[in-house]
Chains A and B, each alone.
Chain A
Amino acid sequence: EAAVTQSPRSKVAVTGGKVTLSCHQTNNHDYMYWYRQDTGHGLRLIHYSYVADSTEKGDIPDGYKASRPSQENFSLILELASLSQTAVYFCASRTDYAEQFFGPGTRLTVL
């Protein structure tokens, strides 16, 4: 079974501060994704990566950066956190057969 872990599981940040969300997968998946979930909306793609040291923009990349230092690790970085970035963030990784496995999520609250 694919294992995707995220840290921290929850975080409170101040407006204008820097936030880093981490994701780790242990199944040699090439593709990794970051999504955000807002109440009443489906998950939306922020950034993704298909190889280490390379990241791509998703549908809503503004205000976010991503980093893929290794195949196993994928980080989401908020350089200047804003109130509108309060959400639950999910990381996922993908097999060659397109099934995505999701992490447990990180609840971010920006005050």
Chain B
Amino acid sequence: KTQVEQSPQSLVVRQGENCVLQCNYSVTPDNHLRWFKQDTGKGLVSLTVLVDQKDKTSNGRYSATLDKDAKHSTLHITATLLDDTATYICVVADRGSALGRLHFGAGTQLIVIP
């Protein structure tokens, strides 16, 4: 059963617009949650990590929130650029696993058009 669900599956926005990506999970016990950016044909690049029960982070035009009670995270991208076109993947670490087991969402494909 999929333990990390992302929505929407895909999203098209115009350059300069803001967008919000959602991540819901059922991983228990949950440790930290990380958002990755994956350009087409490339590897995963970490954008931000959220650790606390209710956490917020900011990394330039990217900001994220985490609510562990709700098991929900959001990634906000402000003033999108064409280079933001990529797949964004939500990953939840399993605190109960010594091997550092990660649970991956299927990703949201973001397309930024001129």
Contact A42 B104 (CB under 8 A): yes
A104 to B42, CA, bound (A): 5
Contact B41 A42 (CB under 8 A): no
Chain A residues with Cβ below 8 Å from B31 are: 98
User: Interface size bucket, A side?
Assistant: 20 to 34
- Chain A 90-111: CB-based contact to B (< 8 A → 1; otherwise 0): 1000100011101111010000
Total inter-chain residue pairs, C-beta < 8 Å: 44
A94 to B100, CA, bound (A): 8
A34 part of interface (Cβ distance < 8 Å): no
A35 to B31, CA, bound (A): 20
A54 to chain B, nearest CB (A): 12
- Main SS at interface, chain B: strand
Chain A residues with Cβ below 8 Å from B36 are: 102
- Main SS at interface, chain A: strand
New contact pairs (16) apart from A40-B106, A45-B101, CB-CB < 8 Å? A42-B104, A42-B105, A42-B107, A43-B102, A43-B104, A45-B102, A56-B99, A90-B44, A94-B100, A98-B31, A98-B32, A99-B34, A102-B44, A104-B43, A105-B41, A107-B41
- Residues of chain A touching chain B, judged by Cβ–Cβ distance below 8 Å, are 31, 35, 40-45, 48, 50, 56, 90, 94, 98-100, 102-105, 107
